[in-house]
Amino acid sequence: MKVYFDHQVFSWQRYGGISRYFANIYNSLHDRGYTDCKITLLYSRNHYIQDQKFPLSPMLGERLLRKQRKLEKWNRKYSKYLIGKNDFDILHPTYYDPYFLTRLKKPFVITVHDMIHELFPEFFSPHDHNIPFKRATITKADHIIAISESTKNDLQRVFNIPDHKISVVYHGYQEAHVPADPAFKPPFPEYLLFVGDRAGYKNFARFVQAVQPLLDRYDINLICAGGGDFGVAEKELLIRAGIEHRAKQISATEAQLNALYQGALAFVYPSLYEGFGLPILEAFRNNCPIVSSNTSCFHEVGGDAVAYFDPYQVEDMTQAIDSVINSRDRSGELRAKGLVQLDKFPMQVCMDKTLEVYRGVV
């Protein structure tokens, strides 16, 4: 069986959950003897596939495709060319752009990671292509992988997809993960941790309001890992809350992020919606207590190993965080339960079920 993965997420992501997800599938297929599988790229800067050989060497790729727009353009052309040859058994696009549909004569599977654009359109540009792109690919796919039951339910509610066309395949975690960086020292001795993007539905503004009294009360700090530097509006938000000197953004490597999880008083996940919530597994893996929203998939992934709050209620968020960082017993209980909960999401099962979907389609 020959599976092709297209360029999309590998063209624009260096790090990130979606590109790591597809890299894991690709590597797993090769490890199981499916060596004809291919990622249709000329060149990529993606961290998770740096061991792969592509038509352009890193030196030539950086020389010819240094600009991001040019990189995406030529990777798209190359993907379209290879897909048009239809020399494979199944295509698994890595995102929702339907550019390949006119040339494709083989079946394809699409993974739906969330339904955020459809359920929270107010947080996105009215010119965003994601919704029409998703409709085009989802409705024409031979089979759909949803990464949680919550995502499956949202998908069916929005697009009315029949049950037999959807398989729920949870994300898995890598047992041989990158260890914490021993040379890295967090900028604060005691801190709460926020991970990833902070825009829109990530609920960062309410989060700042919720943690402000706790930072003052316990003389602790806030670290935001990833998501880029604080923007002008975010800096103003922190200044108004009086915690601008207690908050720091770090563009952490994977090893540094593991160290940040391990040293945090708690990882707080205030998002209004997620399709799965991979940082929950990352925090479990690093023995970090979690305080999280009670919406969408969070109970499904976190089980009883997470302290939950209503993400729309600032006081409820404050109280939930306080109940964890102010109690060694509660914090220790969540750490212990987290390691048990993590065992429910082995990478092996994720790969087995994905392969099962491929075989069913072929």
Asked whether residue 126 carries a pLDDT value surpassing 90, the answer given is no
The predicted model gives 252-259 an average pLDDT of 91
pLDDT of 101 > 90? The answer is yes
Cβ of 162: how many Cβ atoms within 10 Å?
A: 7
pLDDT at 17: 87
Question: What is the third-level CATH fold of 191-342?
Answer: Rossmann fold (3.40.50)
- 101's tokens: 């549909």
Nearest to 255 by CA among 180, 354, 346: 180
Confidence of residue 254 (pLDDT cuts 50, 70, 90): confident
Per the structure block, which two tokens stand in for 42? 């000329």
Q: Cα separation of 110 and 132, whole Å?
A: 15
Which tens digits make up the pLDDT trace of 70-88?
999 999 999 999 999 999 9
H or E segment and range at residue 118: helix 116-119
Better pLDDT: 182 or 94: 94
pTM of the model: 0.92
What is the predicted pLDDT for the residue at 95?
98
Alpha-carbon distance of 298 to 280, in angstroms, equals 8
3-class SS at 182?
coil
pLDDT at 57: 93
The CATH class of the 3-172+346-361 domain is alpha beta
Structure tokens at 128: 């965003």
Chain centroid to Cα 42, Å, comes to 24
Query: Where are the CATH 3.40.50.2000 domain residues in the chain?
Result: 3-172+346-361, 191-342
Q: Averaged over 159-179, what is the pLDDT?
A: 87
Does 176 have pLDDT greater than 80? no
pLDDT of residue 175: 63
At 206 the pLDDT is 98
Read off the pLDDT of each residue in 281-291 and give the average, rounded to a whole number: 96
Give a three-class secondary structure readout of 5-47.
ECCHHHHHCCCCHHHHHHHHHHHHHHHCCCCCCEECCCCCCCH
Q: Quote the percentage of the chain above a pLDDT of 90.
A: 92
Q: Can you give the pLDDT at residue 180? A: 73
Output DSSP code: residue 346.
B
Asked if pLDDT for residue 177 goes beyond 80, the answer is no
10 Å CB burial of residue 183 (0-12, 13-18, 19+) is exposed
Task: Render pLDDT for 219-244 as a digit per residue (tens, 0 to 9).
Answer: 999 999 999 999 999 999 999 999 99
d(CA 289, CA 265): 7
pLDDT at 16 over 90: no
d(CA 9, CA 14) in angstroms, rounded, equals 9
d(CA 296, CA 22): 23
Q: Measured between alpha carbons, how far is 264 from 189 in angstroms, rounded to an integer?
A: 9
CB-based contact 10:94 (threshold 8 Å): yes
Reported as a single tens digit per residue, the pLDDT across 293-329 is 999 999 999 999 999 999 999 999 999 999 999 999 9
Give me the mean pLDDT over the 100-120 stretch: 96
**Under 8 Å between Cβ of 268 and 292:** yes
For residue 338, pLDDT over 80 is answered with yes
The average confidence (pLDDT) of the chain is: 95
% of the chain surpassing 70 pLDDT: 99
- Can you spell out the DSSP letters for 94-130? SS---TTTTT--S-BEEEE---HHHH-GGGS-TT-SH
